[in-house]
A and B are shown apart, each in its own frame.
Chain A
Amino acid sequence: EPEVTQTPSHQVTQMGQEVILRCVPISNHLYFYWYRQILGQKVEFLVSFYNNEISEKSEIFDDQFSVERPDGSNFTLKIRSTKLEDSAMYFCASSGGSSGGETQYFGPGTRLLVL
């Protein structure tokens, strides 16, 4: 069964450094998302991407964040200058196949730790 994959599984970085989180969505999906989950808290929406552009973004997704689909398969989230409070699990998701746009398929996540 097709699945969303994410790399790396863990990332440790120093405050102020740039990080790039990578995702490969399910191949026939059209909508791509990034969410984050701070330890013990709810899953929070960051950004959605459709037709090669951002379709929606939350207040969390400020100028420090950017997304890109550099080729036909990868979907990346870049944090330009990480802050301590960016430490969280970051999940990529995709939707829009035969199960419809509402059903989100999540990847296993990248655990980001900012020191």
Chain B
Amino acid sequence: SQKIEQNSEALNIQEGKTATLTCNYTNYSPAYLQWYRQDPGRGPVFLLLIRENEKEKRKERLKVTFDTTLKQSLFHITASQPADSATYLCAQGSGGSYIPTFGRGTSLIVHP
């Protein structure tokens, strides 16, 4: 079955630096990947979606890439701020289904 793997260790970075989070998938290539933000005790909030035929997507300080050769998506937050501290979830979706499969998420801590 398809699996989504995210680094379970928290990522600690200094304010102003670029945070890069990794999402790896196994087996077949998903039709799309999504990134969500989740704060403690809250529901996930959708950030970006990238399809398998897209290399890169940007939204304000966020950038996501999709490398079907490496079976990997990278999620970047430039000029990070303490308010960006949260858990970031990667989710994969297959064609014909609107139901994503979520990874466990990576915690990002931005220090002032």
Tell me if A85 counts as interface (CB < 8 A to partner B): no
Tell me if A18 counts as interface (CB < 8 A to partner B): no
Nearest residue, chain B, Cβ from A111:
B41
> Is A56 in contact with B102, judged by CB distance below 8 angstroms?
no
Contact partners of B97 in chain A: CB under 8 A? 56
> Is B41 in contact with A106, judged by CB distance below 8 angstroms?
no
- Interchain CA distance A45-B97 in the complex, whole Å: 12
- Chain B residues with a Cβ closer than 8 Å to the other chain, count: 21
- Interchain CA distance A107-B103 in the complex, whole Å: 19
Give residues in B with beta carbon < 8 Å to A.
32, 34, 36, 41-46, 49, 89, 93, 97-105
A2 vs chain B, min Cβ distance (A): 14
Contact partners of B45 in chain A: CB under 8 A? 106
Nearest residue, chain B, Cβ from A3:
B43
Contact partners of B36 in chain A: CB under 8 A? 106
Tell me if A75 counts as interface (CB < 8 A to partner B): no
Q: Given the known inter-chain contacts A43-B89, A102-B49, please indicate yes or no for A107 contacting B43, CB distance below 8 A.
A: yes
Contact partners of A42 in chain B: CB under 8 A? 89, 102-105
User: Which of A41, A43, A111 meets B44, CB within 8 Å?
Assistant: A43
